[in-house]
Amino acid sequence: MKDKETFHMSPSQFREEGKKMIDWIADYYENIENYPVLSQVEPGEIIGQLPDSPPLKGESMDKMMDDVNKVIMPGITHWQSPDFYAFFPANTSFPAILGEMLSSGLGVQGMIWATSPACTELETRVMDWLVEMLGLPRKFKSTSTGGGVIQDTASTSVLTAIIAAREKATQFESNAKGARQKLTAYVSTQTHSSVEKAIKMAGIGKENLRLIEVDKSFAMQSNLLKEQIGKDIKEGFIPFFVCATIGTTSSNAIDPIKEIGKICKEENIWLHVDAAMSGTAMLCPENRKWQEGVDLADSYCFNPHKWMFTNFDCDCFWIADRKHLINTFTILPEYLKNKATEEGAVFDYRDWHVQLGRRFRSLKLWFVIRHYGIEGLQFHVRKHINMAQQFTEWINQSNDFELAINPPFNLVCFRHKASDEFNMKLMNAINESGKAFLTHTKLSGQVVLRLSIGQTNTEEKHVEEIWELIKKFTINVLNP
């Protein structure tokens, strides 16, 4: 459906097609439980149904949506299903979708303040709000020495932090001459793989990333960290970066931030705190004991696109001293010069991250915070944690299953007491049924199943259902 003369879709056609799309999305959420949660297609099944060559002539939206329904939908794994317990939540909400629509509609590119002042200033304000909402240190606020910026993912945030830390440690020598210094970085054996990836990208080298052993709760052992740093210094290395995690991906383990932070302060090492999923828990003051010491962090990130009803991508990254970031990433070619930048009166967020271009992502975050209010967000975080506690109790009461770790928040790691193989079979059977989707990890060398509770529409009844399903499939797998 298009204007024959210009090929464009006119505003009035968009009104019609857009409203159909709204209904399509609303229908999807009303019927989402009817789809198999994990897509059941085989490799190549979708691409095989798509034409080899692009169309010469334009096609109608109806035809395209027909293909969405017939070809694309069977290849969707339904992250927004209330029966999705895999990996981590990537939950969204209708206010977030509306915010993303508005951002698409405005189509502004917020690379510098001047290219849309509201895009920068709303982001700065919303990031300051979140400092309060999460009980983060005042220094992270734009009104202090720091400030927040929306990044795409926690992977990019940690890369940004590593590069800024690298420059701080080398006094900008690595930006100028290359990363030739004997720098060392530190994570636990449980830290997310994105840190290793970033250490490689930043030219530090995997051999210079020290993996510190964890304790029984899978948290970094700070005494071993201190020991390793001492050893490295003795050997002529320059320890420059530590990543501590609040809620590891595998098991939701929480590193002792305060102890790690003290070591970092003593040795003048950059501390980045990755709270990608579990940072959301800090909306509720009763959970903030888990982030004690966060005031010692040089940078911090959490992802509203995981557990705060804001659609992907939306990672919030804060820095204690913004000059480290800006000095590291600034480049000002002639074609981007403008009065506001040259007067230093504004933030130009392209100097706060890898990319130059940026979307107006604070709109969706603003909509989510204002729609739910602090009260509504707290309600849902508490509800998810309560459901995880309920599931934990069932595991504890069961004879066949055991917990791998006592869950602090919304991720339950458990296993059938039988073999690793049995656990994998059980998981695959559930996933292949299409009724729910959960994933696994290995902890202390054993296969462990992960039930990550955080979807927008997951209710108590869904958690009851997955528990029944687990018990039912246990019997099925035992008696095939």
Range 194-223, binding a second copy (CB under 8 A): 194, 196-197, 200-208
- Which of the residues 164 through 193 are near a second copy (CB under 8 A)? 166, 174-180, 183, 192-193
The answer to the question of residue 422 lying near a second copy (CB under 8 A) is no
The answer to the question of residue 240 lying near a second copy (CB under 8 A) is no
The answer to the question of residue 74 lying near a second copy (CB under 8 A) is yes
Phi then psi dihedrals of residue 246, to 5 deg = -105, 95
Binder of a second copy out of 145, 224, 312, 420 (CB under 8 A): 312
Q: CA-CA distances (angstroms) from residue 474 to 391, 443, 462?
A: 16, 21, 18
When the beta carbons of 230 and 373 are compared against a second copy, the nearer one is 373
CB of 77 to a second copy, least distance (A): 5
When the beta carbons of 68 and 478 are compared against a second copy, the nearer one is 68
What's at 274, amino acid-wise? D
Residue 151's beta-bridge partner residues?
A: 315
Binder of a second copy out of 371, 382, 471, 472 (CB under 8 A): 371
Using a 10 angstrom Cβ sphere, with 0-12 exposed, 13-18 middle and 19 or more buried, the burial of residue 7 is exposed
Binder of a second copy out of 234, 333, 342, 399 (CB under 8 A): 333
Q: Output the DSSP codes for 415-477.
A: EESS-HHHHHHHHHHHHHHTS-B-EEEEETTEEEEEEE---TT--HHHHHHHHHHHHHHHHHH
The answer to the question of residue 357 lying near a second copy (CB under 8 A) is yes
Mask 261-300, x = binds a second copy (CB under 8 A)?
A: ----------------------------------------
The answer to the question of residue 415 lying near a second copy (CB under 8 A) is no
- Which of the residues 439 through 478 are near a second copy (CB under 8 A)? 439-442, 450, 456-457
Segment contacting a second copy by CB under 8 A, of 129-137, 216-224, 262-270, 387-395: 129-137
CB of 93 to a second copy, least distance (A): 7
When the beta carbons of 235 and 334 are compared against a second copy, the nearer one is 334
Which SS3 state, helix, strand or coil, does residue 226 take? helix
Contact 457, 80 (CB under 8 A): yes
Segment contacting a second copy by CB under 8 A, of 229-237, 253-261, 401-409, 435-443: 435-443
CA 323 to mean position of chain CA atoms: 25
CB of 88 to a second copy, least distance (A): 9
Contact 191, 248 (CB under 8 A): yes
Q: CA-CA distances (angstroms) from residue 37 to 86, 164, 184, 435?
A: 10, 40, 42, 6
Nearest-CA neighbor of 404 among 367, 453, 449, 434?
449
Distance separating alpha carbons of residues 263 and 285, to the nearest angstrom: 26
The answer to the question of residue 323 lying near a second copy (CB under 8 A) is no
CB of 182 to a second copy, least distance (A): 9
Size of site (CB under 8 A) for a second copy: 160
Beta-strand relationship, 270-274 and 299-302: parallel
- Which of the residues 14 through 43 are near a second copy (CB under 8 A)? 14-15, 17-19, 21-30, 38-39, 41, 43
Contact 407, 462 (CB under 8 A): no
Beta-strand relationship, 411-416 and 401-403: antiparallel
Contact 406, 219 (CB under 8 A): no
Binder of a second copy out of 36, 37, 85, 100 (CB under 8 A): 100
Segment contacting a second copy by CB under 8 A, of 148-156, 253-261, 267-275, 294-302: 148-156
Structure tokens at 56: 């010469």
Binder of a second copy out of 36, 85, 113, 282 (CB under 8 A): 113
Distance separating alpha carbons of residues 391 and 81, to the nearest angstrom: 18
The answer to the question of residue 137 lying near a second copy (CB under 8 A) is no
CB of 316 to a second copy, least distance (A): 13
Segment contacting a second copy by CB under 8 A, of 235-243, 288-296, 318-326, 356-364: 356-364
